[in-house]
């Protein structure tokens, strides 16, 4: 629906997700993409990490 929009697939085990955060979501400047695709379960499990950023929209689909 938006092929030119930068996005990241936020999934994997805890170590893989932490690596994604370190590489693509620096705390001082925020994510380098406007769209994160993840599951409800992962969003809830990683809510403290994801809450560090000011998201304009959050869409969750089970």
- pLDDT, tens digit, 9 for 90 and up, residues 35-49: 888 999 999 999 999
- pLDDT, tens digit, 9 for 90 and up, residues 11-38: 999 999 999 988 888 777 666 677 888 9
Element (H, E) at 35: strand 35-37
Domain boundaries, the chain: 7-50
Neighbours of 9 (CB within 10 A): 10
* 24 phi/psi in degrees, rounded to 5: -115, -5
Amino acid 27: pLDDT: 75
């Amino acid at each position: 629906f938006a092929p030119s929009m930068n996005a990241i697939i936020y999934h994997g085990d805890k170590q893989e997700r932490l690596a994604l955060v370190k590489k693509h979501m620096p705390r001082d400047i925020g994510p380098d993409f406007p769209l994160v695709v993840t599951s409800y379960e992962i969003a809830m499990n990683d809510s403290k990490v994801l809450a560090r950023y000011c998201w304009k929209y959050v869409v969750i689909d089970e």
